[in-house]
Structure 1
């Protein structure tokens, strides 16, 4: 459809568009609650630490308990976050809704990004370049942040079924790709143990 025709259709349907946007805000809240529940249950089951407040602060991340030290509570973590070059802002060059990214129905995506608070920006970039091959046997990619990123996609049809069903079990099933990504993080954690040790050896250098 040409842009002019699409714009006309949107204006002629303003009431429906406005109502849909309001409903989508409610839907995003329900999905956000499910994301937090799945992350918390996974972390508790695997004896990892987690922080959750996705809807308000875009916070949803996990970390092995043995990474915490007396001086640093969160030296590094795996955070639910956006693809390279996307800070989660609405519109512009990016998708307007984070749920669009979550289901990869627009131009953006969501996954788990390895974040750290040990090295500054320049030594971190250097470490990523030098260790890019360390994730070649995992599903992580090295992107342009630069960082190690594990993308996944939630199927919109399965998510729609869960929203209609409303039960926790239905949401857990729809969010299975996220749980599988968390399982992959745990299975690959030795790679990141090594990276964290390397970061600590370079700290202050």
Structure 2
């Protein structure tokens, strides 16, 4: 009996410490002190939920390159550019946001296409930012993007939203069933009205092979 208790204690302590660290980080995040929250989260476990929160804090602190490195360290299957199937959509959207801020809209679109739900407000915002950026390209750069999804080096994609979503915020204040149904119905109407706001990935039937930007620097 005592041996069993001792064996389980470290795991229990580990979980308790993780939740304690996240709780402390949430207080700082509520104050928009992302630098301090990042410092605390670096001491927590390497659980992907913790790493996602850390990466969002880094994005909001302007440390995009480090956020990208963190996402690549846990979000991709080892030795590949395939996204881990267990990742939630919000984490994939956060990775997509990091990619476009890092100058890789193609990588951002790849991640959005791996989401189960492609009609979330944030997914639409990311696609809209990429679409607006594409309109600023010269005609031949735009053609290369449209046909082959090849972006210019060091491209800058402005966004009109605060980067990253905290998963714990998405779970807060659940809506009443009626309110949720109304919101979903409104979203469907907005989607129909926007039409081109959710474009199908603009690729040629036989695009040239290129390495995935998800697992390589841009």
What is the TM-score of this pair, normalised by structure 2? Answer: 0.25
The structure that is helix-richer by fraction is 2
The structure that is strand-richer by fraction is 1
Select the structure with the greater relative contact order (CA < 8 A; seq sep ≥ 6): 2
What is the TM-score of this pair, normalised by structure 1? Answer: 0.26
